[in-house]
Amino acid sequence: MVWKRKADLTGTAGTDGAAGPRGAEGAPGTDVILDQGISFAVRDAAGYASWIANDSSGGMPPHSAREVAAKAGPLMASGIGFAADPRLAQIGISAGLVDENGYVAAGAQWDLKGDPTAAMIARIATLIGNQAVQAAGVPGLSTKGDSITQGNQDGSGVTWPQIASDILGVALWNPSVSGEASGDIAIRAGALTPQVSLPGDVIPATTTPVTLTAINPADGYRTLSDGNATGLGVFPGVLCGVAGTLAHLTDGSNSWTFTPKTARSVSTPCPPGSRFYSQDGKAHRNDVSVFWPGRNNPNASQVLRDMATMVAFQGVSPRFLVLGVLNNSAEIKGTAGYNNILSLNAQIGATYPSSYFDMRSWLVQNGLSAAGLTATAQDTADIANDVVPTSLRFDATHPNRFGYLAIGAKVADLIKQKGWATR
C-alpha cells in the first residue's frame, strides 16, 4: 500500500461518504473523497483509499478516528475510550491508542480537531532526539511544584500539567520532582541562586565532590534521604563559571556538595558567598507559570521567601498562577495540620491576590463534578471534613488520574480566563 494524494483518489468513493472512498465495503462511487476534505490516504491493491488517512489540515478525519477506536477496542478498559467519553473530550482528546490497562498513550492521541496533541508532538520529538518546538509568539506552560505537580502516582501516566498543556495547545516544561520543598523548587526553576562557600575558596580541578562549608538560605530544602524520586535534591548548574552539580547529601548530615562536571587543568577561585545558578529555567522566563510549592514544607516564611524569588524571576510581562496547598486525609477540620495549611494558603493568597487560586477548596467542593464522578458515602464524609474526596485521591495526599484530570482542566480554564492563551 502507498500514500496517494487527493488527486489520485477521485472516482473511488463508496456508498458511505463518512467512511471514506470504499465506504462500508461499498462499490466504487464518484468524487465523494474530495468533498470529505481528505488530502492523503493509504491506497490498497484494489485502488481504494483505506481508513489510514489525513484531512486537509493534516489531522485525523472522523472515519479514521472511528476505525482506530474499533481496532483498539479490545484493549480498552471500561469507561476509557474516545470522544464519547466526556472525561477525554473535556481535556481535548478525540482519539488515541490505549494500552492493556485502558490508558491513553501520550505518544498517540489526537485533539478534537483531529490534530496531534501537544503530548503526542512532544513524545515524537523526544523519540527522534529533538525538543518540541514552541510556536512563535505563543507562550509555553511552565509548572513548578513537588510530587503533586510531577504526578502519575497511580501509574496511569496522567499528570495535571500535561492535561493543561494539551487543552491549551502549548509546549510544557515541568521540572517538578517528588519530595522537594519550596527551596528545591525555586533552585530548579532557576529563580533561587543560593550563596555557597567552599573549603579554601576554590573549586578543585578534579571531578571529586567538594563539601560546602556554608549555603544561604540554609532551610527550605529536602534531602535525598527524604524520598526516593530520581533527581531529588540534585541540581545541575554553574558555580564560579564551573559547570557541575549541587547536591544535598543522603547521609542525614544536612550537608551539600558541588561536583564539577569535567576535570580542568587548574583549580578555580570561588569566593565565599558565590552564587550557584541552575540554568534550565532561563529559557522559560516568559512562559505562563503555575507555582505549587509548600506541601513538603508548609512553613509560611520559607514558602513566601522562595515564591518571591520565582515571581521575580519571571520575564518582563509576568504571567503566573499560585495554587493553594492541599491538605491530606489526616488533616481534617480542627487538627493542627489543617489549621496550618489554611493559614499558609491565606498568607499566599494575601501576598498574590490577583494570581492565587484556592485549588484545595475547589477540589474539595467541585472536583468530583469536574471529573464526572458521583460522590460515594466516603466522599461525602471527606467533603464534610474539608479534605479532597477519596475518589479523587491515589493515597492520603496525592490525587489519582481523575483528580489530576480535574486539576488540569481547571488550570487551563484559569489561564484562558486571564487571556494568556487563545485556544
| Residue 249 forms part of a structural domain | yes
Query: In this structure, are 154 and 289 located in the same domain?
Result: yes
What pLDDT, on the 0 to 100 scale, is given for residue 217?
A: 95
Last-in-domain residue among 55, 77, 111: 111
How many domains would you assign to the chain? Answer: 3
Same domain, yes or no, for 372 and 246? no
Burial state string for 102-123 with b = 16 or more CB within 10 A and e = fewer than 16: ebbebbbbbbbebbbbbbbbbb
What's the confidence (pLDDT) of residue 279? 83
Nearest to 370 by CA among 326, 414, 423, 410: 410
Q: How far apart are CA 186 and CA 319, in angstroms?
A: 17
Together in a domain, 157 and 303: yes
Alpha carbon dihedral 15, 21, 24, 25, in 10-degree steps, equals 100
One domain, residues 305 and 392: yes
220-242 residue pLDDT tens? 987 544 443 455 688 999 999 99
Check if the beta carbon of residue 174 is closer than 8 Å to that of residue 142. Answer: yes
Q: Are residues 210 and 300 in the same domain?
A: no
Question: SS3 for 159?
Answer: coil
Residue 386: the pLDDT is 98
297 and 148 co-located in one domain: yes
Residue 128 covered by a domain: no
Range of the domain at 366: 134-183+281-417
In a domain, 173, yes or no: yes
In a domain, 299, yes or no: yes
For residue 343, the number of C-alpha atoms closer than 13 Å in the C-beta half-sphere is 12
Shared domain check, 299 and 170: yes
Residue 423 within any structural domain of the chain? no
Say what the pLDDT of residue 51 is.
Answer: 64
CA separation for the pair 54, 6 (Å, rounded):
10
Q: Do 166 and 307 fall within a single domain? A: yes
User: Do 38 and 107 share a structural domain?
Assistant: yes
Point out the domain boundary residue: 244, 260, 277.
Answer: 277
Predicted pLDDT of residue 234: 87
Per residue of the chain (423 residues), what is the pLDDT tens digit? Answer: 333 333 333 333 333 333 333 333 333 333 334 445 565 566 555 556 666 666 655 556 666 666 655 554 443 333 344 434 555 555 566 666 655 555 555 556 666 556 666 666 655 555 544 444 444 445 799 999 999 999 999 999 999 999 999 999 999 999 999 989 999 999 999 999 999 999 999 999 999 999 999 999 999 987 544 443 455 688 999 999 999 999 987 666 778 999 999 999 999 999 999 999 998 888 899 999 999 999 999 999 999 999 999 999 998 778 999 999 999 999 999 999 999 999 999 999 999 999 999 999 999 999 999 999 999 999 999 999 999 999 999 999 999 999 999 999 999 999 999 999 876
Of 243, 277, 311, the one marking the end of a domain is 277
- We report the CATH number of the domain holding residue 322 as 3.40.50.1110
Same domain, 85 and 40: yes
Same domain as 41, residue 148: no
Query: Quick one: 225 and 365 in the same domain?
Result: no
- Cβ–Cβ < 8 Å for 268, 241: yes
Residue 65 lies in a domain: yes
Is residue 391 included in any domain, yes or no? yes
| Residue 117, in any domain of the structure | no
What CA–CA distance (Å, rounded) separates 134 from 107? 18
Query: Rounded to whole angstroms, what are the CA distances from 99 to 77, 152, 199, 231?
Result: 9, 16, 53, 28
